[in-house]
Copies of this chain bind each other. A is one copy, B any other.
Amino acid sequence: MKINENYQKLPGSYLFSTISKKVKAFQKEHPEKEIIRLGIGDVTLPIVPAVIKALHQAVDEMGNASTFHGYAPDLGYPFLRETIAREDYEKRGCDVKADEIFISDGAKSDCGNIQELFGPEARIAVCDPVYPVYVDSNVMAGRAGEYDPSSGIWSKVIYLPCTRENRFVPGLPKETPDMIYLCNPSNPTGTAMTGKQLKVWVDYANEHDAVILYDAAYEAYISDREVPHSIYEVEGAKTCAIEFRSFSKNAGFTGMRLGFTVVPKELSFGGASLHDMWARRHGTKYNGAPYIQQKAGMAVYSQEGRRELAEQVAYYMRNARTIAQGLEEAGYEVAGGVNSPYVWLHTGKLTSWEFFDRLLENAQVVGTPGSGFGPSGEHYFRLTGFGTYENTVKAIERIKTYG
């Protein structure tokens, strides 16, 4: 039997299980202490009323013979694709057509699956620190080379360090990649590249015949006018970039599963259209997003939905600002929290895990050690604005007092 041996190369995924074990052990030793979790990337506010209403209506349609919907179109219902094209792209001056938008069950699946369109010898570049899915999905496909446990580095991956030294803006690499993953605003650093900074990458990709895999899952949190909401706001992007979008963070859909990916028709290499290839992949290995989820997605763009969701985003961003300001007042060096619900702090002389232990011990606050996101994440730490406001305020008070 011939197994895919690349899976065996993956080191254990210990980050969140180690956090969980440490928290449990602490709680057992100190049952009287209340722990606040600000490490999570999951939302906590419920789905807004406009979307709930749309879901109930869609469910009723599914229970009625005359309005029942069987298999959805593989690539998504035209009603949603057209709405996205108009609201997310046309209104921002981007030339993205409805038939370039592929509805899916979320950005994680799409980010993980997109690498299938490329050959096994294609080279990937990733920011460091980075969302682990980009790297792991390429390890599984045999594109990452060998892992060095001591450095945490894959031999064939091109790393783009994002640290305070370069203000978390990745510099162009020495080796030439074929696939460049960019998450903007960034998970985990919470920082964002401006249109001007992105233009450098778009030009580079076009010149070097590379593709940019642009993860815009956090675009709803952008407040800075210089930061584009879509890579297609940058001139030249349509010939080099694929964009991933999500309903998870802007509409609280983490447990609902809905997202979409834009693959422009212009995007082709050696005569092969990535658009056609992605359409074929959808048709072969996917069966469309559920009707009720796509109707829920429509409600996100309604007047009522927009208003309710703007409040939700504002709530999380108030948390993020509270964290960032509080940490700065406590003397920490902080990034993020302006265009993203993520706050990225420097842990000084402590390692990420030492800082984790100290924060848990002294303030009973749980965050995520930066080293879990890549070698350059060492000496950093992630806190998120996705908790409740009350807990966020309490956590920051504790950090200021005891942290």
Interface on A for B, CB 8 Å cutoff? 1-5, 7-8, 10, 13, 42-49, 52, 55-56, 59-60, 62-65, 68-72, 105-106, 108-109, 112-113, 116-122, 132-133, 136-137, 140, 178, 209-211, 252, 254-257, 269-270, 272, 274, 277, 280-281, 283-293
Q: How far is the CA of A264 from the CA of B56 in the complex (A)?
A: 37
Instruction: Judge whether A133 and B285 touch: CB under 8 Å.
Output: yes
Instruction: Judge whether B47 and A52 touch: CB under 8 Å.
Output: no
| Nearest CB in chain B to that of A278: its residue | B7
**Which of A52, A65, A105 is the most central at the interface, judged by chain B CB atoms within 10 Å of its CB?**
A105
Instruction: Judge whether A140 and B116 touch: CB under 8 Å.
Output: yes
Across-interface contacts of A274 in B (CB, < 8 A): 3
Across-interface contacts of A257 in B (CB, < 8 A): 105, 287-290
A13 to chain B, nearest CB (A): 7
| Nearest CB in chain B to that of A211: its residue | B1
| Nearest CB in chain B to that of A272: its residue | B3
Instruction: Judge whether B7 and A272 touch: CB under 8 Å.
Output: yes
A77 to chain B, nearest CB (A): 10
Instruction: Judge whether B255 and A72 touch: CB under 8 Å.
Output: yes
Q: How far is the CA of A133 from the CA of B280 in the complex (A)?
A: 11
5 contacts between A and B (CB under 8 A): A3-B277, A48-B63, A112-B286, A137-B284, A256-B290
Instruction: Judge whether A65 and B42 touch: CB under 8 Å.
Output: no
Q: How far is the CA of A291 from the CA of B253 in the complex (A)?
A: 11
Contact of A49 among B63, B105, B293 (CB under 8 A): B63
Q: A3-B117, A269-B3, A285-B112 are known contacts. Are A52 and B45 too (CB-CB below 8 A)?
A: no
Q: How far is the CA of A193 from the CA of B137 in the complex (A)?
A: 37
A209 to chain B, nearest CB (A): 5
Instruction: Judge whether A52 and B62 touch: CB under 8 Å.
Output: yes
**Which of A10, A119, A269, A287 is the most central at the interface, judged by chain B CB atoms within 10 Å of its CB?**
A287
Across-interface contacts of A132 in B (CB, < 8 A): 284
Instruction: Judge whether A3 and B119 touch: CB under 8 Å.
Output: yes
Q: A63-B49, A287-B105 are known contacts. Are A2 and B119 too (CB-CB below 8 A)?
A: yes
**Which of A3, A71, A286 is the most central at the interface, judged by chain B CB atoms within 10 Å of its CB?**
A3
Contact of A292 among B4, B116, B292 (CB under 8 A): B292
A399 to chain B, nearest CB (A): 24
Instruction: Judge whether A280 and B10 touch: CB under 8 Å.
Output: yes
Across-interface contacts of A178 in B (CB, < 8 A): 1-2
Q: How far is the CA of A106 from the CA of B43 in the complex (A)?
A: 25
Instruction: Judge whether B4 and A119 touch: CB under 8 Å.
Output: yes
Instruction: Judge whether A108 and B2 touch: CB under 8 Å.
Output: no
Q: How far is the CA of A112 from the CA of B56 in the complex (A)?
A: 32
A16 to chain B, nearest CB (A): 10
Across-interface contacts of A280 in B (CB, < 8 A): 7, 10, 13, 140
Across-interface contacts of A272 in B (CB, < 8 A): 3, 5, 7-8
Contact of A63 among B4, B7, B52 (CB under 8 A): B52
Q: How far is the CA of A178 from the CA of B3 in the complex (A)?
A: 9
Q: How far is the CA of A108 from the CA of B269 in the complex (A)?
A: 29
Across-interface contacts of A211 in B (CB, < 8 A): 1
Across-interface contacts of A277 in B (CB, < 8 A): 3-4, 7
Q: A7-B281, A255-B290 are in contact. List 5 more A-B contacts (CB 8 A).
A: A44-B68, A47-B68, A72-B255, A105-B105, A109-B286
Across-interface contacts of A105 in B (CB, < 8 A): 105, 257, 287
Instruction: Judge whether A255 and B69 touch: CB under 8 Å.
Output: yes
Instruction: Judge whether A270 and B63 touch: CB under 8 Å.
Output: no
Across-interface contacts of A106 in B (CB, < 8 A): 287
The 9 closest A-B pairs by CB, nearest first: A112-B285, A2-B119, A52-B63, A42-B70, A1-B269, A2-B122, A46-B68, A69-B255, A70-B254
Across-interface contacts of A117 in B (CB, < 8 A): 3-4, 7
